[in-house]
Homo-oligomer: A and B are copies of this chain.
């Protein structure tokens, strides 16, 4: 099909399709005789994927490019999932005074220890994660003192593990074997991780907002 039809079928404007091609998010069309590019079903699929990452997950064009590059790597080659997440969720670049830096280093050590003590972290908790958590914990301490304790963070971590258990229910015993399509599980794990965040975040916001509504209304919140 021509680019105009691709645009019509995917609801993505022609200029934006050309932009995605320039940025390397989308393969160029095949040059046909009359020096026109033709596009196939694979382009439709790719654009739907880009839309999901842009519109539903709210990722930047740069982050979408990073995700697409990782999606094609075989499962279990290095750690494509963590590497994709590393690129999608960069750390805030925050300048700290000397005393802030000390508080940061201290808390980071405490969080890393707590995480290592969990049953499920395999001892290799990614760097970006600990740094993101430490930064946020310090912000909570500053803006809603006394903030959250590392013990509470540990409870959050175990609830996160319960969320991942619910996600993978039924897939626990599936170990990819050499005959499997090894790219598909990578794609599923990365897309699943990015999209499932868009279920958990609104639910957590909602739970927090509604719990505060209970408190305002003087209604005892039901136990979890």
Q: Which residues of A contact B (CB under 8 A)?
A: 11, 48-49, 51-52, 55-56, 58, 75-76, 79, 81-82, 85, 89, 92-95, 119-122, 125-126, 128-129, 132-133, 135-137, 139-140, 142-144, 148, 152-153, 155-169, 171-172, 174-176, 185, 187-189, 191-193, 195-216, 218-224
Question: Cβ of B52 and Cβ of A172 under 8 Å apart?
Answer: no
Query: In the complex, what residues of B have CB within 8 A of residue A58's CB?
Result: 92
> Within the complex, what minimum Cβ distance (angstroms) separates A216 from chain B?
5
- Give the Cβ gap from A222 to chain B, nearest Cβ, in Å: 4
- A165–B172 Cα distance when bound, in Å, is 28
Q: Is the CB of B165 within 8 A of A162?
A: no
Give min CB distance, A217 to chain B, whole Å: 8
Q: What DSSP secondary structure best describes chain A's contact surface?
A: helix
Min CB distance A78 to B, Å, is: 11
Contact B56 A125 (CB under 8 A): no
Q: Say how far A95's CB is from chain B's closest CB, in angstroms.
A: 5
CA A1 to CA B152, docked complex, whole Å: 39
A168 to chain B: which residues have CB within 8 Å? 211-212, 215, 221
Q: Output the nearest chain B residue to A75 by Cβ-Cβ distance.
A: B216
A207 partner, pick from B89, B163, B191, B206, beta carbons under 8 A? B163
Contacts of A52 in B (CB 8 A): 139, 142-143
A94 to B54, CA, bound (A): 11
The 10 closest A-B pairs by CB, nearest first: A162-B224, A160-B203, A164-B207, A55-B92, A160-B207, A136-B198, A119-B222, A193-B208, A164-B211, A76-B216
